[in-house]
Structure 1
Amino acid sequence: MIAGTEEEASDLNRRNFLVTSLAVGFAVAASPVMAQAIHTSDEGLVAGEVQMPVPGGTIPAYRAYPAAGGPFPTILVVQEIFGVHEHIKDVCRRIAKLGYYAIAPELYARQGDVSKLQSVNEIFAQVVSKVSDEQVNGDLDAAVAYARGTGKADVSRLGINGFCWGGRIVWLYAAHNPAVKAGVSWYGLLNTPPWNPKGTSAISVAKRVKPPVLGLYAAKDGFIPASDIDAMRREIRGSKSEIVVYNDVEHGFNADYRPSYNPSAAQDGWRRMQEWFRMNGVA
C-alpha cells in the first residue's frame, strides 16, 4: 500500500460522509419508546457494526449471522425513516436467529444523521429529500458485495426486507437487481414520495419487478391510501407478487417500540415473511 493512502481515504470519508457510526438506541423522533419494545439477544450470533465500502468511502452497517456454520442465505434489511437505529438492529438479530446473514446499511450516511432530529418533518426536509434512489440502489449493491466477501453470506440466496421508507425501497431494488430471489415490503409507500415529487413510485416500476415481492399493508394507514394499494394490485396482477392488507391496524404495525404496534398483525406478517423467503429460494 502506498504510504498515506489509508489516511487519505479516511479523510475523504470524513469529508463526504456525514454519518460514520450507527445511532445508539432509538431515534429521538421515534419517541416515546414503548415498554413493549422487543430486545433480541445476540447470544449464538456474530452481531454488530461494520464499516462497508461504497464508492468514495465507507458507510456503517449493522450485520448479524449465526456464530456457527455458514455460508447463510442473505437478507438485506432496509431501514425505516429513522435510519439504522435500535429497532432495525434488533430485526437483524431476529432474522439471524432464523439462520440468515442479515445486513442493514445506513443509507443516509452521506446526507446526515437523523437519529438526533426532533421530528419526521425535519428528517424529510434535512436528510431524506437529499437521498436519491440511485444512491440507495448502489449502496444496497455494495452491501451484497460486502456480504459476499465475508465468506459467511450466500448471496445466491438473496432476499430483501424493508419497513416504511425501506418498504418502498424493496419494490425499487427488486426492479433494479434481478439477482434478488424475493422481497418483503412492510407498509412501503407505493405512490410518488412526498419528499421528492420527481421521485420514482413503486407503482411505476411494478411491471419491472421480476422477483416475487410480498407487500404487507395496513387498512388504516394514514400515509398509504387504499386507492394506492388497489393500483399496485392491478400492476402486479399476473406476477408472483402479492399484497396482504391487515384490517383495523395502522402504519408501522410491526414497530414494537411505537404506539402503532399491533402484535397480531406483526406476528402474522413475520410468519408470512419467513414462509415467503422459504418458498422463493431464500433459505
Structure 2
Amino acid sequence: MANEARPCPCDIGDKIEYGSLGEEVQIEHIKAYVVKPKAPTEKALIIIHDIFGWQLPNTRYMVDMLASHGCIAVCPDFFIGKEPWSPSNDWAGFQQWLEDKKPTNINKEVDAVLKYLKGQCGVSRIGVVGFCWGGVATHYISLQYPEIKAGVSVYGIVREKEDRYDLKSPTFFIFAENDFVIPLDQVTALEEKLKEKCTVDFQMKIFPNQTHGFVHRKREDINEPDRRYIQEARQDMINWLNKYV
C-alpha cells in the first residue's frame, strides 16, 4: 500500500491557510488528507466531504479542528478522482452528476480507510463525521458498520433505503431550520422512525435560523448572529465523539 505523503497548504488568499496542518497520502486506490496529533492516540475520525469534494477549504478546516482534539483525522476522496460539483454548474444536471457518486456506494473506500487506520496508524476506536453528501454517507455507515464507535451526520439523511432506521452505532444528527435541501418534515419523520426502531443511542438537533452548510463555514464567513449556533453545533459534535469514540 502506498503511503507517500506531500504537504498540501490551501491558501485562500487572505493569509489564512486551511488544510495546512496535515498531508495528502495515498490509501490504496484513493487519496486522502490526513492530520495526526503530536501525541500517540488510539482514536481516529473519518471526515466525509460534501459535494464540493475533499479539497474544499471549509472541509479541511473541520479536519484540522477535529484533529486538534487529540485524534487522527482523515478525509478521503470518496469521489475517487472524479470531478466534484462546482458552484458554477447548472443544477439541472445535478442528478446526472450524482449518478456515479452515490453516498451509499462507498463500502470499498470505507474498508480501505479502516484498514489503513488500524494497520498503519494503530488505532482501535474510530468515528465518522460527514457534511451534506457526507452526512448521508455517515448515516449509511452507521447502518452498515458496527465497528464504528460513533457517527455525526451533519445535514444529511439516507432517503432511498427501507432499512435506514436500524443504526448499528450511536449517531448524532445535526440539521438546519431553514435548509432548502432537507425539509423539516423529513427530519421529523426520521426521528419518529428512529424512536420506533433504533436500538442504539441517537440524537437529533435542529438549529434555528440556520441554512444548509452552516456548521463548516470558515472563520471569516461566520456572521455574528450565526456564531453561537455554529459554535454550539461544533461543541455538540465534539461532545458526542468524546462520549463514544
TM-score band w.r.t. shorter chain: 0.7 to 0.9
Whether the aligned pair in 1 keeps the contact of 2:59 and 2:216 (CA below 8 Å) is no
Structure 1 equivalent of residue 76 of structure 2: 105
The one-letter code of the counterpart of 2:193 is: E
**Cα distance change, pair 22–177 in 1 and its aligned pair in 2 (3 A):** farther
Matched, 1:50 2:29: no
* Pair 122,70 (structure 1): closer, same or farther in 2 beyond 3 Å: farther
Residue 166 (structure 1) aligned with residue 153 (structure 2): no
Cα 1:229–1:101 change in 2 (3 A) is: same
Q: How far did 1:158 drift?
A: 1.1
Runs of 4+ in 1 over 6 A off after TM superposition: 21-24, 258-261
Pairing 1:93-242 to 2, within 5 Å after superposition: 93-109=64-80, 112-114=82-84, 118-119=88-89, 121=91, 124-125=94-95, 127-133=97-103, 135-150=105-120, 152-154=121-123, 156-191=124-159, 200-201=160-161, 204-237=162-195, 239=199, 240-242=201-203
Code of the residue aligned with 2:35 in structure 1: it is: A
**8 A Cα contact 1:236 1:242, kept in partner:** no
Partner of 2:51: 81
What is the aligned counterpart of 1:254 among 209, 215, 221? 215
Structure 2: 5+ residue runs without aligned partners? none
Residue 41 to residue 229, structure 1, CA distance change in 2 (3 Å): same
The alpha carbon displacement at 1:137 in A equals 2.4
Matching residue of 1:274: 238
- SS of 1:95 mapped into structure 2: helix
Distance 2:93 2:70 in 1: 33
Q: Is the CA contact 2:19–2:57 (under 8 Å) kept in the aligned structure 1?
A: no
Alpha-carbon displacement from aligned partner over 1:91-140 (angstroms, at most 9, x marks no partner):
11111110011111101115x22266733737835642212345412201
Count of paired positions: 234
Structure 1 residue 242: Cα displacement = 1.0
The residue matched to 2:34 in structure 1 has which SS? strand
Instruction: Please give the secondary structure, in 1, of the residue aligned with 2:50.
Output: coil
Residues 228/142 of structure 1: CA separation in 2 closer, same or farther (3 Å cut) = same
1:209–1:97 CA distance, 2 compared to 1 (3 A):
same
Q: Which amino acid aligns with 2:228?
A: S
Q: Select the residue among 63, 66, 71 that pairs with 2:34.
A: 63
Contact residue 108 and residue 127 of structure 1 kept, 8 A: no
Kept in 1, the 8 Å contact 2:139–2:157? The answer is no
**RMSD (Å), alpha carbons:** 3.1
Q: Percent identity between the aligned chains?
A: 23
Residues 10, 17 of structure 2: 8 Å contact kept: no
Moved more, 217-226 or 133-142: 133-142
CA 61–246 in structure 1, closer or farther in 2 if over 3 Å, else same: same
